[in-house]
Structure 1
Amino acid sequence: MTEFARHARLAGLFYLGIILLGIGAEGALRGPLINWTDAAETAQAIQDRLFLFRLSMVFDIGMALLDVALAVLFFRMLRGVNDGLALTAMVFRLMQAAVIAANIMALYAAGQALPGNPLPALERHAAGYDLGLIFFAVNTLIMARLLSMPGLAPRSLCWALAAAGVVYLLGGLTRFLTPDLNTMMQPAYLIPVVAEVWLMGWLLIKGPKVAD
């Protein structure tokens, strides 16, 4: 497990960066500008704070870059546990990063639509994000399995990651199959938030000691 311990703290730092950029882009910069029931208000808010809206795209680009780096790093850390599963997890995380990166063009289109209606492009972006989460769901489920196989991580953390994977999968599928149900299940996303912050903290604090 030396390979895992050697890179655990760096993986935790990458994860911290992803979380901060994601919260910053959606929660702090972009989210407050969007009123899904009022296109005119949303257009005006984005125009008034256009730099912040554009900065949210830069944050998303940074998040995608860190996701690629973390996917490769996790593969290096976990290939000694199960090479096939580690490779599969990396591919699905890279797929998610590719979808998120391509999806930034929907945000660009929303900005280009001003002073017209930006909501259709923003809705495409939201749907694209959930599409990416379907791939990430598979990655998360595999990661839960990989971390549990040699007893690397606490069993409770592995179960939390598995639950997060299920939420991501259901969230992505309901976006396209039953949008009303997708709206109702939004509170369930608290589970992935807790699981991913827990994993990040464990990587930073406990991960480097797993070989002891």
Structure 2
Amino acid sequence: MVAGLGLLGMTVVSAFSFSVFSNLVVAGDATRTARAIGDHELLFRALTCGFLIVAVLDVVVAWALYVLLAPVDRNVALLSASLRVVYAAVFAAVLGHLLAAVRLLTDTTAQDAFDTRQVDAQALASVNAFKDGWDAALVIFGLHLLVLGHLVLRSGYIPRMLGVLLMIASLGYVVDGLGRCLSRGYGANVSGYTFVGEALLMVWLLWKGRHLPGRPATRRARGLVSRASSSAERLL
């Protein structure tokens, strides 16, 4: 349930932040982008805070999924959670570029030191640096989904089809992330078509999360305790 609610919260907050971001940032037009950010400074700072909330929720979801899937394979579940935490850390770190952009456009010191065109160009460069860092982080996120899908396939208490769809989603993020890192003109959006597994996992967790059977590790532990008690009774 924690994982499902975390994913739902991320969906809502990221939808707001990306919507505002796409409306304020005009690709390749430093002047229009600078004017939009300067005129809507509070809104731009709000979307940055929204991205930070998403990064924090990513850590919470990583922990919740680890608890859910550790009975399958604790080491692999730890790897999956670690990859998501690393992705969240990189994503949070590159948010500094957005704060640098808005500071350039609102700080009188920067405006006095450079002319308007230079300030606008530097602000757009900071925004682009954020996008580049996020694209690189998506490769890490894709690897997380690949490992997560593997765990779901092996779990036995989560539908195997979700595992397959998560692994397909992982390929979309890896292809998009590497494509944008390798080519400036990369314009495909593969992950926009392969994300279905993430959405279905969120729905399944919210729907079935409270009704999952006892975890395999718990049942094994109870069996060991029962056998140990029987052996102790025979000895006595």
Q: TM-score, normalised by structure 1?
A: 0.89
Matches within 5 A, 1:1-212: 9-27=1-19, 29-114=20-105, 116-117=119-120, 118-180=123-185, 182-183=186-187, 185-186=188-189, 188-211=190-213
Task: Give the Cα–Cα distance (whole angstroms) in 2 for the partners of residues 145 and 152 of structure 1.
Answer: 13
Number of residue pairs aligned between Structure 1 and Structure 2: 200
Would the aligned equivalents of 2:13 and 2:54 in 1 still touch at CA under 8 Å? yes
CA deviation vs aligned residue, 1:104-163 (integer Å, no higher than 9, x gap): 101011112216222111111111111111111111001101111023322322221111
Larger Rg, first or second structure (1 or 2): 2
Would the aligned equivalents of 1:163 and 1:191 in 2 still touch at CA under 8 Å? no
Task: Give the Cα–Cα distance (whole angstroms) in 2 for the partners of residues 165 and 128 of structure 1.
Answer: 18
RMSD: 1.5
Would the aligned equivalents of 1:12 and 1:200 in 2 still touch at CA under 8 Å? yes
How far apart are 1:196 and its partner, in Å? 1.6
Q: TM-score, normalised by structure 2?
A: 0.80
Q: Which has the higher contact order (CA 8 A, sep 6+)?
A: 1
Unaligned runs of 5+ in 2: 106-115, 215-236
Would the aligned equivalents of 2:94 and 2:133 in 1 still touch at CA under 8 Å? yes
Task: Give the Cα–Cα distance (whole angstroms) in 2 for the partners of residues 197 and 26 of structure 1.
Answer: 17
Would the aligned equivalents of 2:69 and 2:155 in 1 still touch at CA under 8 Å? no
Task: Give the Cα–Cα distance (whole angstroms) in 1 for the partners of residues 171 and 157 of structure 2.
Answer: 21
How far apart are 1:191 and its partner, in Å? 2.9
CA deviation vs aligned residue, 1:24-50 (integer Å, no higher than 9, x gap): 1112x2210111121111111111111
Identity %: 31
How far apart are 1:192 and its partner, in Å? 4.2
CA deviation vs aligned residue, 1:176-200 (integer Å, no higher than 9, x gap): 21232x31x21x2223432222111
Task: Give the Cα–Cα distance (whole angstroms) in 1 for the partners of residues 175 and 204 of structure 2.
Answer: 26
Unaligned runs of 5+ in 1: 1-8
Letter in 2 for 1:62: I
